[in-house]
Chains A and B, each alone.
Chain A
Amino acid sequence: MEGIKDPQSSYLSIKNLWKSFGSFTALKDVSLDIKEGEFVCFLGPSGCGKTTLLRAIAGLDLQTSGAVVQGGKDISNFPASERDYGIVFQSYALFPNLTIEKNIAFGLENTGRSKSEINERVSELLDLIGLPDQGPKYPAQLSGGQQQRIALARAIASGPGLLLLDEPLSALDAKVRVYLRHEIKTLQQKLGVTTIMVTHDQEEALSMADRIVVMNEGKVEQIGTPNEVYCKPETLFVADFIGEMTQFRGTISGKSLVKIGNTELNMVEHRFSQGREVSITIRPEDIIPLGS
């Protein structure tokens, strides 16, 4: 596989990934492509396999079978330390006994950089995340949101090709969360780094992602832009999981007609045959009450 350039110029390709833990199958034939510079969210309920997929990409828990190709290189069986990515965990995993500066500099050491280069890079990163004066402090002296940004700075310090975020905002309170969504997104655009974020919060995914991968029970349900997954859900699960909706049983009664109870509604053109029983979902905002 190595060396073969992907025809679709995708930066990261996941091919037929399976992962089992004993008799439990956490990932079932997952395939997807991520373009360079893209911000992709893995979205789904807890236990859907989104974190398992992220950890397989990171080489932390290897998939049972299937391939991961990053930058045209098959890294399927590479250990984490030989892959090219930075990662932020839900717990941030900041080293508690090292100062903020030392935390950020941790990955810059042993890379051929001189001490002054490292210091320069650390203060550049502290400026970038908007915490220029916090370098000498310890992690425990900072707020949750600040710690989160330090973890981000540490992850991007050496300029990895891929940034992985594992539920990075879920440990924060609601206000900080909304603020940091914007911060992370801006930072990602500024750096142009390909980013994957795992989240169970659909609002987070809809507001941050270029594309969303909706997952359920170890399978990919749909891959699309926020607009696509919201307005054109491909499965009932996606329609139900994202946004509010009401579900009805109906019967196809014409080329673009469906009958719910005794009411006949117009709908987009479909491929179902006359008289077929179908599920109809309607978003609340699509119902426009008309004055009598």
Chain B
Amino acid sequence: MNSANIDNIVARPKGLVKAKLSRDDIIMRGGMIVIALYLVMSLAFPLYSMFSKSFSTFKYDLSKFEVQVSDDTGQFPPTIVSLESLNGELEAIPNDELSTGSGGRLGVTMFFPDFSFRSPVMYRIRNVDNQGRFLVGSTLVTGTDWQELDSNTFRRVQLRPVRSTGLSNFINYFSTPALFKSIQNSIFISVISTIITVILAFWFAYALNRSCMRFKGFFRLIAMAPILVPSLLPGIALVYLFGAQGVIKGLLFGASIYGPIGIIIGSVFFTFPHAFLIISTALAISDARLYEAAISLKATPWKTFWTVTIPGARYGIISAAFVVFNLVITDFGLPKVIGGQFNVLAVDIYKQVIGQQNFEMGAVVSVVLIIPAILAFAIDRIVQSKQVALLTARSVPFHPKPNPRVDSAFTIYCGLVGLFIIGMLGICQFAALIKFWPYDLSLSLNNYQFDKMDGGGWGAYYNSIKMALLTALIGTCVIFFGAYLVEKSNGFKTGRAIFQMFAMLPMAIPGMVLGLAYIFFFNNPENPLHIVYGTMAILVICTVTHFYTVSHLTAVTALKQMDKEFESVSASLKQPTFKLFSRVTVPVCLPAILDIAIYLFVNAMTTVSAVVFLYSTKTSLASIAVLNMDDAGDIAPAAAMGMMIFYTNIFARIVHLIISKGILTRTQAWRASG
């Protein structure tokens, strides 16, 4: 009997079985919903506010207001005039200057040239319809009732703009050459920095993976150092090296470091570790059998390099390129410090918002910046998924053979790259300890008296540590728990897919954009979450969200390595999933959990872009202090503070290492025995 027969004979029963949820199922789904709500509040809603802001324009619509003016005895004539016709006669404000921001206010007395607040003349004013609104003092008046005011009160009447939705902000943006030029500038510096960084990082990684050069461990450490400092710091270092009074400014042959040259050199510095890590991973998984085959086929080393090495590492190289591109185009700190008159998108957002208070235009630039960032992110994800497929293939690890000439060439090369990195950090530390560069080179600790400078003083430094610790603690809990729920819960497929998408999103959102989106969402007085605005809490929430994706992926990778039947076994033994989670899952994943914590800590210490919009005078941060002190011309203290961040991160790394090696050997005895 074949299957078609069976299907015909037995009609499929209609009564579908609907699962009865266990307590654990309900708890896990509840937990997932809570964390998904967190992501909606901290990501989706703010981004939505930002998008809607970019399409909003505000304009004083004078046709919405009508006035009546009395004679000297307070008697009103029957004539009613609209402000629009009044403005038409007087030409008090040209029509194209009626555009404003969401907070715009327009004093009404400018339509009455012979207005005097002492005159006995009375005024009546009203909105023509429900869209109009104006302030009397601080009281908002809506509705169409007449307000009768004496002239002393009338001078305190301010018109409010009407909101409309459309593309006019974008049209405005693209017809402003100064702003439009930034797109070109941003792409230019990102492409050039990407090419240089990827080439430098490739040979560095190649030397460490494929040669028998010495001091590999040392160079590996050096290569990772830039990750521990804010991206502002290389900018400061470049000022000291190549600035107006720079040590070796002669090397530039008269070119200015303030501009694309500075941004590119600094970008190479701060993106180097990212590119190095990715390419190094790609080179480390190469298959020795391919090289043996190449040798047996008598291929030249040159040919082997192009036919075996490069194809094997191509996904790593492409992925590194897009990661670097993304980092450079979204970076704000470096072009702020060293960019000079060379405008880029990320700095435009800052200038529009902080400098000109033009939030709508800031939102427009953000939308423009999101596009290349999302593209780079999407391509990187596609490439990375292919890299994983390569990893699963079983390969024989490659062991390089000594070759004195090549090895010493690589040692020199790595030495030069190392010198570049150490030099950049060293000059900052040196400058920080100098009394008055370049006139008095005696050593002093004056630059560490942060309390005498703008930017928040030592308080900012302690705030940073507090913020980084809270981010590491809260972020690790939320992210790991969220990853556990999405990986290990049963059913609920759509919910889990949506959650995964939310978890991937933050990586595609530039920090500046996230920060600005937070202003729009959290600084709205109608939002009950408004209370966190200006507190430490919003800084922590923002930073956790900003660095959510990488941490989430780390957690998911660790969880995927766990036997997928643990939850089934635990359920069959009638034990609550929470017990399994605390007694098995967390202890086994402890190394990954500690990695997430240190990643969040270091990034919270160095981040500038998202939090620059969100700090208040009470919650200034060390990285923000670097920015503000540099802005105020206190460059040496800025360097000193930047190096404080560096040492703090080194200290945190050492603590992380001790915990990983020390405590883990005790709690993870089972691992060694295996």
From B23, B576, B588, give the contact of A96 (CB < 8 A): B588
User: Are A139 and B572 in touch, CB under 8 angstroms?
Assistant: no
User: Are A80 and B22 in touch, CB under 8 angstroms?
Assistant: yes
In this complex, the member of A66, A85, A91, A96 whose beta carbon has the largest number of chain B beta carbons within 10 angstroms is: A96
User: Are A106 and B575 in touch, CB under 8 angstroms?
Assistant: yes
Chain A, interface SS category = loop
A17 to B: closest C-beta gap in Å: 9
B562 to A: closest C-beta gap in Å: 9
B672 to A: closest C-beta gap in Å: 9
* A contact residues around B15 at 8 Å (CB): 65
Q: Any chain B CB within 8 A of the CB of A45?
A: no
| Contact A140 to B673, CB < 8 A, known contacts A97-B588, A110-B575, A235-B1 | yes
A256 to B: closest C-beta gap in Å: 24
Query: Closest residue of chain A to B12, judged by CB?
Result: A18
| Contact A81 to B568, CB < 8 A, known contacts A16-B13, A65-B16, A95-B584 | no
Stretch of B3-11, B90-98, B552-560 at the chain-chain interface: B3-11
From A18, A83, A93, give the contact of B565 (CB < 8 A): A93
21 contacts between A and B (CB under 8 A): A18-B13, A28-B6, A28-B10, A64-B16, A67-B17, A79-B20, A79-B21, A80-B568, A80-B572, A87-B568, A96-B584, A106-B570, A106-B573, A138-B669, A138-B674, A140-B671, A140-B674, A157-B573, A158-B573, A158-B574, A218-B3
Q: Any chain A CB within 8 A of the CB of B18?
A: yes
User: Are B569 and A89 in touch, CB under 8 angstroms?
Assistant: yes
Q: Any chain A CB within 8 A of the CB of B394?
A: no
CA distance A109 to B24 in the complex (A): 17
User: Are A154 and B573 in touch, CB under 8 angstroms?
Assistant: yes
Q: Any chain A CB within 8 A of the CB of B571?
A: yes
A67 to B: closest C-beta gap in Å: 8
* A contact residues around B19 at 8 Å (CB): 62, 77, 79
| Contact A60 to B568, CB < 8 A, known contacts A77-B19, A79-B20, A91-B563 | yes
Q: Any chain A CB within 8 A of the CB of B524?
A: no
B592 to A: closest C-beta gap in Å: 14
Q: Which A residues have a C-beta under 8 Å from some C-beta of B?
A: 16, 18, 28-29, 58-60, 62-67, 76-83, 85-87, 89, 91, 93, 95-98, 106-107, 109-111, 137-141, 154-155, 157-158, 160, 164, 217-219, 235
Using C-beta atoms within 8 Å of the partner chain, give the interface range for chain B: 35 or more
Q: Which B residues have a C-beta under 8 Å from some C-beta of A?
A: 1, 3, 6-7, 10, 12-25, 563, 565-566, 568-576, 579, 583-584, 587-588, 667-671, 673-674
* B contact residues around A137 at 8 Å (CB): 673
From B571, B583, B584, give the contact of A80 (CB < 8 A): B571
- The 7 A-B pairs of least Cβ separation, nearest first, read A107-B573, A140-B674, A79-B22, A80-B571, A138-B670, A93-B565, A81-B571
B452 to A: closest C-beta gap in Å: 53
* B contact residues around A66 at 8 Å (CB): 13, 17
User: Are A89 and B565 in touch, CB under 8 angstroms?
Assistant: yes
* A contact residues around B572 at 8 Å (CB): 58, 80-81, 83, 85-87, 107, 155, 160, 164
| Contact A98 to B565, CB < 8 A, known contacts A77-B18, A140-B674 | no
User: Are B575 and A107 in touch, CB under 8 angstroms?
Assistant: yes
CA distance A154 to B22 in the complex (A): 22
| Contact A217 to B3, CB < 8 A, known contacts A65-B13, A81-B574, A96-B670 | yes
User: Are A219 and B3 in touch, CB under 8 angstroms?
Assistant: yes
From B10, B17, B563, B576, give the contact of A77 (CB < 8 A): B17
User: Are B566 and A93 in touch, CB under 8 angstroms?
Assistant: yes
* B contact residues around A58 at 8 Å (CB): 568, 572
CA distance A106 to B7 in the complex (A): 44
* B contact residues around A91 at 8 Å (CB): 563, 565
B30 to A: closest C-beta gap in Å: 15
User: Are A81 and B17 in touch, CB under 8 angstroms?
Assistant: no
* B contact residues around A85 at 8 Å (CB): 572
* B contact residues around A106 at 8 Å (CB): 570, 573, 575
User: Are A78 and B565 in touch, CB under 8 angstroms?
Assistant: no
User: Are B566 and A95 in touch, CB under 8 angstroms?
Assistant: yes
CA distance A237 to B594 in the complex (A): 55
CA distance A54 to B487 in the complex (A): 22
* A contact residues around B570 at 8 Å (CB): 106
* A contact residues around B667 at 8 Å (CB): 97
User: Are B22 and A81 in touch, CB under 8 angstroms?
Assistant: yes
CA distance A91 to B6 in the complex (A): 35
Query: Closest residue of chain B to A109, judged by CB?
Result: B575
| Contact A140 to B3, CB < 8 A, known contacts A93-B566, A107-B573, A155-B572 | no
